[in-house]
């Protein structure tokens, strides 16, 4: 079935539809990973976005039970150059086409993803639609669309839930949580309580956790002002570790500002330098916003990591409180596992904080 990908700048790309036969609209972005399409599609940080895969062949190993990053993916569409005709892998349970149909996500194949990616790199991310007819009406509907600002609310859990174990008590704030974060904490025997995005500082403190994890998530961090207030209410009282959106919210809570990037970082090969040691880690990243380096309050925050390619701030640490954050994904699913040691640093931070004299709050 012939379908079209149309962009708000007037560009039209013709291809063949697969997945759900639906019309869809969202912000179009590109991901440079060679593998990991299942983890990418199920990553809630892509909520509301149409994902372009730059690797030319997608779907060749199917979809399996182990590589979900959320139960119900919320991306708006998938764009590929070539959809594999046959999925071949011992873990394969269904094809990508079947998976997208099952989750009501449209896809389009036969697209010149190289040309499309060059367009997005030069013009920036923009609104796009996958449609049956690339006519004036389709463009009118696309241009009239206002992208939602409540993306975190759409994907966060509405009720707390536990992931029990016998180690450190960790509260995870779900802004669009990846399952791989829970896996890393579980591998370290953490007793986890996942809480909604709008949880208050008081509710967290009442649980008496050993530490708090601020998860990844979609959208603009300034659209979640309540989370900034929550962080301000708990930092200094409990060790904090922020990832991706959690990193940006941690920065906002300490007087920094964020900005929308032209086309963001989305892939699994981004080199990051740890400033103190010079160590280089290749990292998994998925973000369209970043912390403004000119807004850093040097009395509160220390920049710990930078992206080698463009100098983006990739890590922060609080100068007075036991709290740090990274823009990339140390849980690395998919991607290199260079930075998983940061979860060990979080455990060490909680242990050190426990040894300090008890204070009341």
Active site residue 112: no
| 20 neighbors 137 (Cβ within 8 angstroms) | no
- The secondary structure of 327-342 as a DSSP string is SSBTT-SSS--TTTHH
Distance (Å, rounded) from C-alpha 179 to C-alpha 71? Answer: 9
End-to-end CA distance of the chain: 62
Catalytic annotation, pick one of 67, 244, 247, 270: 244
127 in Cβ contact with 145 (< 8 Å) = yes
- Rounded CA gap, 233 and 220, in Å? 21
Tell whether 45 is in a known binding site.
yes
329 part of the active site: yes
The partner residues of 272 in beta bridges, in order of sequence, read: 281, 307
Asked whether residue 217 is marked as a ligand-binding residue, the answer is: yes
Q: What are phi and psi of 208, to 5 degrees?
A: 50, 55
Query: What is the distance between the alpha carbons of residues 162 and 294, in angstroms, rounded to a whole number?
Result: 39
Q: Pick the catalytic residue from 174, 210, 331, 338.
A: 331
In contact, 147 and 48? CB cutoff 8 Å:
yes
- Residue 183, phi then psi, degrees to nearest 5: -60, -45
Query: Is 53 assigned to a binding site?
Result: no
Cβ within 8 Å of residue 255, ≥6 positions away:
295, 297, 300
Instruction: Please confirm, yes or no, whether 208 is among the known catalytic residues.
Output: no
Evaluate whether 217 touches 175 at the Cβ level (below 8 Å): yes
Instruction: Count CB-CB contacts under 10 A for residue 291.
Output: 26
DSSP state string for 163-195: E--SS-EEEEE-SS--HHHHHHHHHTT-EEEEE
- Is 219 part of any known ligand binding site? yes
> DSSP class of residue 357?
P
Query: Which of these is catalytic: 247, 305, 329, 338?
Result: 329
Binding-site members are 45, 217, 219, 245, 248, 286, 288-289
Binding-site members for L-glutamine are 45, 217, 219, 245, 248, 286, 288-289
Residues serving a catalytic function are 244, 329, 331
């Amino acid at each position: 079935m012939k379908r079209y990908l149309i962009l708000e700048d007037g560009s039209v790309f013709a291809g063949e539809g697969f997945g759900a036969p639906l019309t869809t609209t969202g912000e179009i972005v590109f991901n440079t990973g060679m593998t990991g399409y299942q983890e990418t599609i199920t990553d809630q940080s892509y909520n509301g976005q149409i994902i372009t895969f730059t690797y030319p062949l997608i779907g060749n190993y199917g979809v399996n039970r182990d590589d979900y990053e959320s139960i119900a993916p919320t991306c708006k569409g998938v764009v590929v150059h070539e959809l594999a005709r046959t999925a071949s892998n011992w873990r394969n349970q269904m094809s990508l086409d079947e998976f997208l149909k099952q989750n009501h996500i449209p896809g389009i194949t036969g697209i010149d993803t190289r040309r499309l990616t060059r367009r997005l790199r030069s013009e920036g991310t923009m609104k796009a639609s996958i449609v049956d007819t690339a006519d004036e009406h389709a463009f009118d509907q696309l241009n009239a669309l206002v992208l939602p600002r409540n993306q975190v609310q759409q994907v966060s859990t509405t009720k707390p839930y536990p992931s029990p174990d016998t180690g450190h008590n960790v509260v995870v704030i779900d802004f669009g949580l990846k399952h791989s974060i829970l896996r890393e904490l579980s591998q370290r025997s953490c007793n986890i309580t996942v809480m909604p995005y709008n949880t208050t500082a008081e509710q967290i403190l009442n649980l008496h956790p050993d530490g708090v994890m601020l998860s990844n998530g979609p959208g603009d961090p300034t659209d979640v002002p309540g989370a900034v207030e929550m962080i301000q209410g708990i930092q200094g009282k409990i060790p904090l570790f922020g990832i991706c959106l959690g990193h940006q919210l941690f920065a906002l809570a300490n007087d920094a500002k964020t900005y929308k990037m032209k086309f963001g970082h989305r892939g699994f090969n981004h080199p990051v330098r740890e400033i103190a040691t010079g160590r280089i880690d290749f990292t998994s990243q998925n973000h369209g916003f970043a912390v403004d380096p000119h807004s850093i309050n040097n009395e509160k925050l220390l920049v710990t990591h930078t992206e080698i390619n463009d100098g983006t701030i990739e890590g922060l640490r609080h100068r007075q409180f036991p709290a740090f954050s990274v823009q990339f994904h140390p849980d690395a699913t998919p991607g290199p596992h260079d930075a998983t040691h940061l979860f060990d640093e979080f455990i060490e931070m909680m242990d050190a904080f426990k040894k300090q004299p008890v204070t009341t709050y």
